[in-house]
């Protein structure tokens, strides 16, 4: 049995031998904060290019970055994000870094998003005609309009993808909520950093539950700075959880 069949045949992730040489099968990374100077992620073009160089070295072929959009703090949209995509692509060419680069966004479920949907504003999506839209929630309390916003998104032709469900305190306590959300057709994106215990033990346990129950559809780095890339490369890729996660039927490589 070849190394690849060894990894890919383990759909339940039950028999992953850590001594196996590991080649990350995920080629498309889609959750990060690399549009410089628009949110709490990368602040300079240089830093963004340094991170993208590491992604390329890790074997990623495409990065779809996702700056925060929050009505109170980060009023980002196509008008300020897309010109920076061009700037970053130019930098990649100049530095001869071989990686495709695109941008979508990570929308906070707030009244601003509700208004944008109502007003038919252009939203930053990914996955072409699939119109996937990455959404996030506050960490401490589920917003009252979560069901309404996701329903409105479906009605408007979008497919909502919930960022890092394992990081929301109210879901990580009673994990059954994950099933209820998935049953509503919402896709789930787990953070690679959660799998190495980067945030907390509780978050690590919650992501383990999501992986064991095959509830995740995407993995993403949620990278905000270059240190995250080092942790992913040196630690997270070597965890049993990450290797189990990538043995599931994930959608990253369809993007
Ligand atoms: Fe994020």
In the reported structure, the alpha carbon of residue 108 is separated from the centroid of ligand 1 by a whole-number distance in angstroms of 10
Q: What is the pLDDT of residue 18?
A: 53
In the reported structure, the alpha carbon of residue 68 is separated from the centroid of ligand 1 by a whole-number distance in angstroms of 7
* pLDDT tens digits, one per residue of 28-60: 999 999 999 999 999 999 999 999 999 999 999
Contact 134, 189 (CB under 8 A): yes
Kindly report the CATH number assigned to the domain that includes residue 206.
3.20.20.140
Q: Hey, what are 247's tokens?
A: 């043995």
Q: Which segments of 46-173 are extended strands (E)? A: 62-65, 68-69, 100-103, 106-108, 132-136, 159-163
Domain count, the chain: 1
- Residues above pLDDT 90, as percent of the chain: 84
In the reported structure, the alpha carbon of residue 46 is separated from the centroid of ligand 1 by a whole-number distance in angstroms of 20
Strand 62-65, strand 100-103: pairing: parallel
- Of residues 97 and 6, which shows the higher confidence score? 97
In the reported structure, the alpha carbon of residue 50 is separated from the centroid of ligand 1 by a whole-number distance in angstroms of 19
Average pLDDT, whole number, for the chain?
Answer: 91
Cα separation, 103 vs 48, whole angstroms = 13
Q: What is the pLDDT of residue 193?
A: 96
Q: Hey, what are 137's tokens?
A: 């929630």
In the reported structure, the alpha carbon of residue 130 is separated from the centroid of ligand 1 by a whole-number distance in angstroms of 20
Grade residue 12 by pLDDT with cuts at 50, 70 and 90: very low
In the reported structure, the alpha carbon of residue 191 is separated from the centroid of ligand 1 by a whole-number distance in angstroms of 9
* pLDDT tens digits, one per residue of 75-122: 999 999 999 999 999 999 999 999 999 999 999 999 999 999 999 999
In this prediction the pTM is 0.90
- Residues above pLDDT 70, as percent of the chain: 92
Long-range contacts of 91-97 (CB under 8 A, 24+ apart): 91/45, 91/48, 91/49, 92/49, 92/52, 95/49, 95/53, 97/49, 97/52, 97/53, 97/56
Parent domain of 115: 3-17+25-254
In the reported structure, the alpha carbon of residue 78 is separated from the centroid of ligand 1 by a whole-number distance in angstroms of 17
Contacts of 106 (CB under 8 A, 6+ apart): 31, 33, 66, 67, 68, 69, 134, 135, 136, 163
In the reported structure, the alpha carbon of residue 194 is separated from the centroid of ligand 1 by a whole-number distance in angstroms of 12
Contact 161, 132 (CB under 8 A): yes
In the reported structure, the alpha carbon of residue 97 is separated from the centroid of ligand 1 by a whole-number distance in angstroms of 24
Whether the per-residue pLDDT at 6 is higher than 90: the answer is no
- Of residues 237 and 153, which shows the higher confidence score? 153
């Amino acid at each position: 049995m070849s190394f690849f069949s060894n990894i890919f045949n383990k759909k339940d992730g039950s028999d992953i031998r850590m001594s196996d040489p590991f080649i990350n099968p995920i080629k498309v990374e889609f959750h990060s904060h690399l549009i410089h100077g628009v949110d709490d992620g990368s602040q300079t073009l240089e830093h963004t290019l340094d991170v993208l160089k590491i992604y390329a070295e890790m074997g990623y072929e495409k990065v779809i970055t996702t700056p925060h959009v929050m009505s109170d703090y980060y009023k980002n949209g196509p008008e300020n994000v897309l010109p920076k995509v061009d700037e970053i692509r130019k930098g990649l060419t100049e530095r001869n870094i071989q990686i495709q680069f695109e941008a979508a966004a990570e929308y906070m479920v707030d009244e601003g998003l509700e208004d944008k949907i109502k007003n038919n504003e252009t939203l930053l999506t990914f996955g072409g005609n699939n119109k996937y839209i990455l959404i996030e929630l506050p960490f401490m309390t589920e917003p009252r309009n979560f069901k309404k916003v996701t329903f409105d998104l479906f009605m408007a032709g979008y497919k909502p993808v919930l960022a890092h469900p394992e990081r929301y305190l109210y879901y990580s306590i009673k994990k059954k909520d994950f099933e209820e959300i998935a049953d509503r057709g919402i896709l789930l994106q787990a953070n690679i950093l959660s799998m190495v215990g980067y945030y907390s033990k509780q978050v690590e346990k919650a992501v383990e539950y999501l992986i064991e129950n095959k509830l995740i559809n995407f993995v993403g780095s949620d990278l905000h700075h270059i240190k995250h890339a080092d942790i992913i490369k040196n630690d997270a890729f070597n965890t049993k959880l990450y290797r189990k996660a990538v043995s599931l039927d994930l959608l990253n490589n369809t993007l």
